[in-house]
Amino acid sequence: MKKILALLFAILMVVALCACANNGTDEKATGGDDKEATVDAKDLVDEAFIDPIKDWSKYNDLITEIKRETDFAKRVDLMHQAEDILMATNCVIPIYYYNDVYLQKDYVSGIYSNAYATKFFMYTTLGNDSDTLRLNLASEPDYLDPALNSSVDGACLAANSFSGLYTYNAEGKCVPACAESYEVNDEGTVYTVTLKEGLKWSDGSDLTAADFEYAWKRAASEDTGADYGYMFSGFKGYPNELAVTAKDDVTLEFELEAPCAYMEDLMAFPTFYPVKQSAVEANPDYATQPGGWCTEAGFVSNGAYVCTEWKHGTSMTYEKNPYWYDADKVTVEKLEFMLSADDTAIYAAYNAGNIDFADAVPTDEIKSLLDNPEFHIVDELGTYYVAFNAKSSIFEGKTPEQAACMRKAFTILIDRDFIVENVGQTGQVVANSFIPLGMADGNGGEFKKDAEDGYFDAYATNNEHDKTVAEAITLLKAAGYKFTDEGVLSEETPIQLEYLTNESTGHIAVAESIQQDLKEIGIELTIQTQDWNVFLEERKAGNFDFAREGWIADFNDPINMLEMWITDSGNNDCQFGR
């Protein structure tokens, strides 16, 4: 289908250029305000395109169908259809496929990370005669309530202070945590989980199957408003009558709408972690501020560590939880977190010996660290991308097709090669689709076979620069914009917009690279940086035009990266269907 669309575009370009020649003009192919050369925006959008605001219910319905489909081969086809629709909006602009980098002192061992960027510290050993691991993950966490968190750093904190039914081992495999075992009925829809005996909360009280029932129903409920509440949408009774029941203290039963190939991964995901009802509801405002119960140190948890001190904006301290089911294997007594998003300050603290682990490195230092044994590069399953707010005022007065053409022009003008080579610098692969390379398809294969299988030529800005610029101008003309003979936007129809990012040398460098790419045809992009928590809330609320984004998969199945875009998802930053 993509080849057919590319051929159609080429034909339209030839027709447009012939029109210029037949009119006897001397205007450049990349410039000039030749009305007859303008192509209708409806002819330039992809076949899968739907109005991302008014017609998005079609996408929502498709995701529901995927989650209920029991024929796994058909399910793969439906997921490809969903990605076609998502990419046809041109709101989601992939830049590269993630890997992860961090610094770790040579006397530290036992830390491991899974493909979803969650880091586990509970089995760390230290060779410097210390019982305290000093580290940095990020700045002030957004939420510590596992049901409400949606950030990578928050997931790391949750994984080390809470325990779900399942977890990940050092090889990245799902293994039992609070669960002892489970059984599934012949239809693959009813799970009966047996919990370990003697589970405890960090306050020493008993942890039972009823705690999981409460936590799951709370996370799924519309009243809670959890960003990840939709991850329960495959359960019967979702959202407010979830089919999960504690049969007794150690037996949890739940029922799904259809078999789920990644159920163990869900049971290992923070949104599925237990929370203690009496602790949550001890906060008098718990109904309106559901995460208020764990905004200070001392909250009850059930993982390897418990938060004992929190100096907001500066540091957090976690200490070993003696009631954790695997506490006898924990040798590090204390985790001390430096809270900062300033990667230059973090790097300085690491070099000064003030921290043992740094999860951020200044862009300017990466090249010098590539041969350093303390510098680690690990594979991840995710995509670094930028995104448009579909409801941004920059699209006012445009048809849905014209707005899509505007966004596609931005998409093809970005020089991903430059970003990977000069900003990323650690072997990232340029991206031309949202679903990353290496992701399983849920049917025994890979969803995307190779880097050439995507929605646009990610290398065209270098390999066919003039043609790419001409295509971008054709798209913008179709959206109603005028150009000078020099191939830049006319003063009559300027494009001015703001790019939102959090404070990090790498993210700012990406923003500046995009700024220069767009400037070539006269698009004026200003860059606004914000503190991490403010940045997250502004994106979520849709208070932006254009923003930096990133998505590390939560489990190895494309539905994870497709269902986040349903209208009611708390991760739908593009505001689809709203």
Q: Which residues of the chain have pLDDT under 70?
A: 1-37
State which fold the 2-98+379-565 domain adopts.
Dipeptide-binding Protein; domain 3 (3.10.105)
Ordered by start, the domain boundaries in the chain are 2-98+379-565, 106-341
Cα distance between residue 536 and residue 532, in whole Å: 6
pLDDT at 24 (0 to 100)? 36
The crossing angle, in degrees rounded to 10, of helices 400-413 and 505-519 is 110
Asked whether the beta carbons of 552 and 117 are under 8 A apart, the reply is yes
Cα distance between residue 375 and residue 172, in whole Å: 20
Cα distance between residue 388 and residue 91, in whole Å: 5
Cα distance between residue 128 and residue 106, in whole Å: 10
Q: In this structure, what DSSP letter does residue 423 have?
A: I
Asked whether the beta carbons of 257 and 234 are under 8 A apart, the reply is yes
Q: Which CATH class is domain 106-341?
A: alpha beta
pLDDT at 4 (0 to 100)? 41
- Tally helices (H) and strands (E) across the chain: 16, 21
Contacts 24+ apart (CB under 8 A), 71-79: 72/261, 72/442, 72/443, 73/443, 75/442, 75/443, 76/441, 76/442, 76/443, 76/445, 76/447, 79/441, 79/442, 79/447, 79/558, 79/559, 79/562
Do strands 524-530 and 496-502 pair parallel, antiparallel, or not at all (unpaired)?
A: parallel
Cα distance between residue 184 and residue 190, in whole Å: 6
DSSP string covering 316-365, please?
A: EEEEE-TTSTTGGG----EEEEE----HHHHHHHHHTTS-SEES---GGG
Measured CA to CA in angstroms, residue 402 lies from 40, 42, 50, 79, 571 at distances of 9, 8, 12, 26, 25
Query: 412 in the Ramachandran plot: left (φ > 0), alpha (ψ -120 to 50) or beta?
Result: alpha
Q: CA quadruple 125, 129, 131, 132: dihedral positive or negative?
A: negative
The reported pTM is 0.90
Q: Of the candidates 206, 216, 280, which has an alpha carbon nearest to the alpha carbon of residue 250?
A: 206
Q: Of the candidates 533, 524, 473, 531, which has an alpha carbon nearest to the alpha carbon of residue 499?
A: 524
Which tens digits make up the pLDDT trace of 363-387?
999 999 999 999 999 989 999 999 9
Asked whether the beta carbons of 474 and 16 are under 8 A apart, the reply is yes
Place of tokens 């006319």: 490
Cα distance between residue 536 and residue 389, in whole Å: 14
pLDDT at 37 (0 to 100)? 57
